[in-house]
Amino acid sequence: MSGQLKEVRDRIQSIKNTQQITSAMKMVSASKLRRAQQAIVDLRPYSDRLNKILKNVITNLEGDTSVKLGIERPVEKAAVVVITSNRGLCGAFNTNIIKEAVRVIEEELGEVRAAGNLSLIFVGKKGFDYFKKRYTDCTLNKEHIALFNDLHFDNVAVLAQELIEKFEDGTYDKVYVSYGKFKNAALQFSQNVQYLPIEKVKKKIDPDQPKKKEYTADYIFEPNKKDLLQELIPSILRTNMHKFMLDTQASEHGARMTAMDNATENAEELVKQLKISYNKARQEAITKELSEIVGGAAALEG
């Protein structure tokens, strides 16, 4: 019985030690989350507005050869950028992003993969660790895998510029980005977006409404259209890529904080249950010893 009690005591102490670690990780993630959340909250309205302008420009200049990054062409070669964290212990966060990347590969780019023309570009180790074992028929690019350690705009712009150049020279016909979108500390969800070519504004058609005459926006470009678009479009695409990175970073810290909070609460509940078991076993041992003493005394009196 004493051996059993020692085993329960050791287990209680082990869980308490783990609880201290999960509690500390929760506080660290909460501290990092505040900074990461502020960064994405500040950038998102600016990025979303620029992206809306970009789509409107591409839509209204459809057919203009000066807008190369908006030209749709047959998809023979493609790339998927998978943005995950470098570390785990954040629940299903990385798994959900990987699932979204797998979905677009299987549903949208199955023929490209079968032809051996699919490239997977990784930011963060978790995505690479998954795909390197299962997608050996794809080109796996881990050149930017350490980018998640330092998400300064200039560093992210290098990856964005590389994708732009490879789309323009025909290395890729389509580029997707799979990342984690941040909503709040308790809610993050995986998302996949078409990065290149730039998607046009989708006009909703209501069959019950009479067809209206469509008007094309007449943009005035200053100094001139060609020079302006050559600077404006890549700049917006670099900002979008930075937003994807910051979204994923904030999502990671939120997911880890939530996971560590749940782990700390579960450890507390487990310790309570083990203490009850320990007290029951201890009471049984005391009762057994008392019974033996009383039985021995009765035998001596007899």
How many other C-beta atoms are found inside a 10 Å radius of the C-beta of residue 169? 8
| CA distance readout (Å), 280 to 154, 193, 275, 284, 290 | 62, 57, 8, 6, 15
Q: How far apart are CA 241 and CA 162, in angstroms?
A: 12
Nearest-angstrom CA–CA distance, 46 and 153: 14
195 and 240 Cβ atoms separated by less than 8 Å: yes
> Using CA of residue 77, residue 244, residue 187, residue 22, what is the dihedral sign?
positive
Active site residues: 90
**Helix (H), strand (E) at residue 290:** helix 225-301
Q: How far is CA 21 from CA 6, 27, 93, in A?
A: 23, 10, 20
User: Which has the closest alpha carbon to 274: 22, 1, 13, 2?
Assistant: 13
d(CA 117, CA 113): 6
